[in-house]
Structure 1
C-alpha cells in the first residue's frame, strides 16, 4: 500500500477514534496538514447560506468566531454550489476569505494553491473542507478521486457528529426521515468555546423544551437577550414569535396595560381594545428584560398571572386564560432586592424556577478573540471591504483588557476601531491595529503594584494574565514531556478535556 493510501487509512481511523467531535475535527486537520503539507486548512459547517468554522489550522484564532456569508465570499459560494471538488486556479482573481488571517502572512494571498471540498450527506450540503498552500503547485500530486475519498470520509464524520449532538440534546426517538436541515450545525450568535459557555449552552438545552420559568442573571452587556432567544428557539413554542418587554423602560402609568392589555374606554386615550404582552405571547414565550425594575404594585398582578394563567385587561371584568412561558432577566441580585423589600419573595421564587447565569467576558478565557473575529467579519460586510483582520498586537490588547461592559463593549470597540481604520485604508483590505482601539486601560491591569522596602527585592514585571499564561505553559510542557509527547495522556494527567487542552495549547503557542 503506497504512502498516500496509508494516509487515507490513518485519516479514517482518526475520524472514528477521537473522544469527542471537537477532538475528531482537530485531529482531522492535523492529519490533513501532514498529508497535504498545507499552510492552512479549515473545517466549516454550513447552514442559512453561511459557513461557520468548526476547527482551523494555520489561521488566527479569531477565525473560529467568524461567520462567512457565501454571498459575500465568492470562493466559498463556488464551493457551496459545486457539489464536487473545487480547484481554484493559482492566479484566481476571486478574493480569498482568509486573506490577512494567516499568521506571518499579511495582506492578500495572491498566487497560491486552494482546494475546496464540499461535504455532503444525503445530497445535502452540510459543510466544507478548505485547504490552502503558498506553493501554487502544492496539491498537483492529488487526483480529484483522491480528494473525493477524503471529502466522503470527512462528510461522514461530520454527519455522525451532528447526529450524535442532536441525540444528546433531544428527548425521545430520533426519526431518520427527519429533514437533514434540522441536523446541521446551528450557527448561533452565542460565540465561544470556554467552559463557562459550554455549561451555559448545556443549561439552555436542558430547560429550553420545558414550560419552566427561567431567570437569566448576569452583568450588563453579557448577552442575556441572546440566551432568552436561544431558549425560545430550542423550545416547542419556537414557531411563534418571542415577545419582548423591557421592564426598565416601562412607565408605571402604562405598565399594567403593556403587560395585560386594556379595553376601549378604560382610561383617557384608550380608543380601542388592545392586547397586552401576556396575551400576545399566548402559546409562546414572554421575555421580561430587567424584571427587577418592575414596580411593587405590578409585581402582585404578575404573580397572579404566573400562578393561575389568568390575566385581566385594564377596564375589563372578564379574565382571559393564557398559556405563556416566562423568561426573565436581570443584572440585579434579586435575592438582595427581596431582603431590602423592593421585590416580592413569592414572585422571585416563581421566576427563579430554573436560574441561568451568563458569565462575564473576563471569565470566558479565549472567547474574547473569537468574538472579536465575529464582530470584525460583521463590520467588514457593513463597511464594504473585501477582507478585515486584527493585528496580533491588537489581539493582545483585547485579551488583556477587563471589558467591564462585557460583549456589548467589545462589539462597540471593534466597530469604532473599524471606522477609524477605514478612514486610513488605501485599498480593500482593512487591518485593525492597536492604535485604532480607544480602551480605558488602567495601569493596574498590566503592571503590578510597587513593592515596599520590606518586601522581596524581586519585581513582578508582568500582569496577572501574562504570569498565568507563563505558569500554564510551563505545566503543560512538563506534563507533555513526561507523558511521551502524547496530548491525550497529557489531558488525562492534567484532568482536562482533550479539546480544551488542544485549544489552550494553541493559544499559548505550544502547538
Structure 2
C-alpha cells in the first residue's frame, strides 16, 4: 500500500471531523473507509464497557451482532487485542475461537472466519475499544502492512473523540435553551442492557432520561413481557439517586395479608410468626427508589395506606404507633388499564392520580421493527456463553420468521424462545458443533395466529388468500378469527376472550390494533 492510497482513504475521514454528523453515521463512514483501505469481509467498531465489548457499528456482519455483548474473558482473541498497544494479526491456523464465526452477513452455510486482525483504540490515553477486521480468505491480510492499520486506528480514535466532544457540546448548547431537552438527548446514559435502535425504542430512552433527572412518581404501563422492570432500573440509573438503593416488590407475588408487612415493616408480635422487628421496603429504599411491580394488584385497603405515605412521607410499621419518615422516589408498573379500573370502582382514583404523575408507556415488541433482531443477538450471545458454543447464530429464514411474528409475549417471549430453541437444536446434533445455526424450523413459531389463537372454522368464501406481505396476511387472518368468534358470542367480549384463551384486556388491545374496535 502506497502513502498516496493511504492518504486518499483517510482524507474523507479528516474532513468528517469538522462536520456535524449523527454518531451512527460517523461510525458507519469510519468502517466504510476502513474496508476501502483494507479490503475484508467484515469490520466492526466495539466500545469497552466494563468487562464487555459492545458493538457500536458493524459492516459485513449480521444485524444481530449489534445486540450482542461480548464478555472479554470468554473471547481470548479480544483479550489479546486489548492486551497489546499495537495492531495484531492472528495466525490463520490459530486455535483461538473467533467471536464472529458464523456471523458474516449473507452466508447461511457454516463458514468460519479464517483471517483476523484488530487494533485497540485509545482516547485520552485510556483504552476505549477495538477495531476488528475479518476475512473468509485465510491469506487476505498477509500482504497488509500493519502500520497502515495503526495509522487508521489513530484517526479512528480521533473520530470517536470528536463524536463524544460534539455530543457533549450539543448537550451543553441545548441546556442553555431548554434543560429538559438535554435529558431527551442523553441516550448515551441509557441502561447498558436496553437494546434497540427503532424510533419507538429511542423515544422511550429519551423519556427515561427526561424523567430520570426529576423526582416525579412514574407509572410504567405496557403489555406483559415488554421489560417494565428494566425501564424502572434505567430511570433509577438516570436519577440523582443512582448511588442509593433500588428496592423492588412484586405486589402480585404476595398475599394481601403480607403486602403491608413487606411495604411498611412490622414489630415483634404484630402477628403470628413476627418474632423480630423488621424494616419494610420503604425504609430499605430510604434515600433511593422503590419499584412496585404489578401495582394494579393492590387491594383498596393497601392503596389507602400507601396514599398516606406518598402524601406525608411518614409510615408506621405494622403493630406500632411510632412514625418513621422516609425519602423515597416511587416507580410503579402495571399491565392493567388503571383508568378503566378506577371507572369500574376497583381502584382508588386519588391513589391512581398519585401514581401517574408521569405515565410512561413501554412499546410492545411488534412495534419495534428490526429491534427484534438486535434483541435476538443479545440473547443468542447469552446462550452461546452459557452453552459453551463457539458461535450461535440465526439463518436468514429464522430472521425473517422473527420479523414476521407478532410477539404476544414480547421481549420475555423472545428470550425464552431463543433459549429453548438453542437447547433443542443442540440436542439434535449428533456431534457438538463449533457453530450452531438456528433455522425457522428450530424456532417453531406459529405460522398464522401470532397470539396462539385456537383453530376456528371459517366459511370457505371468507378464507384468507395469502399473497404479498406476511404480516398483513397474518393480521387479516386474525381479524377473521376474532370477528367470527364475536359473532358467535353476540359481541360479548368476555365470552369471546374465554373461547380464544386470551385475557380480555389483551383481546381489546388486539382488536383496537386490528381496527375491529
**What do residues 438-461 of structure 1 show as CA deviations (whole Å, max 9, x unaligned)?**
32332689xxx9999899xx9661
Once the 2 structures are TM-superposed, how far is the Cα of residue 360 of structure 1 from its aligned partner?
0.3
Once the 2 structures are TM-superposed, how far is the Cα of residue 168 of structure 1 from its aligned partner?
6.1
Asked if 1 retains the 8 angstrom alpha-carbon contact of 2:295 and 2:333, the reply is yes
Q: Which is further off, 207-216 or 458-467?
A: 458-467
Once the 2 structures are TM-superposed, how far is the Cα of residue 268 of structure 1 from its aligned partner?
2.0
Q: Which residue of 2 aligns with 1:106?
A: 109
Alignment of 1:5-20 (within 5 A): 5-17=7-19, 19-20=21-22
Q: Determine helix, strand or coil for the equivalent of 2:360.
A: strand
Once the 2 structures are TM-superposed, how far is the Cα of residue 94 of structure 1 from its aligned partner?
1.4
Q: CA RMSD in A?
A: 2.8
Mapped to 2, the partners of 1:354 and 1:161 lie a distance apart of: 32
Once the 2 structures are TM-superposed, how far is the Cα of residue 13 of structure 1 from its aligned partner?
2.0
Mapped to 2, the partners of 1:12 and 1:168 lie a distance apart of: 20
Q: Which residue of 1 aligns with 2:297?
A: 293
2:93 equivalent among 86, 91, 94 = 91
**What do residues 474-494 of structure 1 show as CA deviations (whole Å, max 9, x unaligned)?**
xxxxxxxxxxxxxxxxxxxxx
2:66 equivalent among 57, 64, 67 = 64
1:268 is the counterpart of 2:272: yes
Q: Determine helix, strand or coil for the equivalent of 2:406.
A: coil
What TM-score does the superposition give when structure 2 sets the normalisation length?
0.82
Structure 1: tracts of 5 or more residues without a match: 174-182, 469-511
Q: Which residue of 1 aligns with 2:225?
A: 221
Alignment of 1:448-459 (within 5 A): none
Q: Which residue of 1 aligns with 2:251?
A: 247
Q: Determine helix, strand or coil for the equivalent of 2:45.
A: strand
Asked if 1 retains the 8 angstrom alpha-carbon contact of 2:225 and 2:413, the reply is yes
Change in CA separation of 1:298 and 1:187 when aligned onto 2, cut-off 3 Å: closer
**What do residues 336-371 of structure 1 show as CA deviations (whole Å, max 9, x unaligned)?**
111111111111111111111110000001000111
Mapped to 2, the partners of 1:418 and 1:268 lie a distance apart of: 47
1:22 equivalent among 4, 21, 24 = 24
Change in CA separation of 1:388 and 1:453 when aligned onto 2, cut-off 3 Å: closer
**What do residues 213-260 of structure 1 show as CA deviations (whole Å, max 9, x unaligned)?**
111110000000100111111222222221000011121112211111
Q: Which residue of 2 aligns with 1:153?
A: 155
Structure 2: tracts of 5 or more residues without a match: 177-186, 452-456, 475-517
Alignment of 1:137-216 (within 5 A): 137-165=139-167, 188-216=192-220
Asked if 2 retains the 8 angstrom alpha-carbon contact of 1:240 and 1:284, the reply is yes
Q: Which residue of 2 aligns with 1:115?
A: 117
Q: How many residues align?
A: 454
Mapped to 2, the partners of 1:24 and 1:69 lie a distance apart of: 25
Change in CA separation of 1:16 and 1:127 when aligned onto 2, cut-off 3 Å: farther
Q: Which residue of 1 aligns with 2:395?
A: 391
Asked if 2 retains the 8 angstrom alpha-carbon contact of 1:196 and 1:364, the reply is yes
Q: Which residue of 1 aligns with 2:35?
A: 33
Q: Which residue of 1 aligns with 2:370?
A: 366
Mapped to 1, the partners of 2:284 and 2:378 lie a distance apart of: 33
Mapped to 2, the partners of 1:388 and 1:82 lie a distance apart of: 28
Q: Determine helix, strand or coil for the equivalent of 2:468.
A: coil
Once the 2 structures are TM-superposed, how far is the Cα of residue 92 of structure 1 from its aligned partner?
1.9
Once the 2 structures are TM-superposed, how far is the Cα of residue 207 of structure 1 from its aligned partner?
1.2
1:437 is the counterpart of 2:443: yes
Mapped to 2, the partners of 1:105 and 1:130 lie a distance apart of: 22
What TM-score does the superposition give when structure 1 sets the normalisation length?
0.83
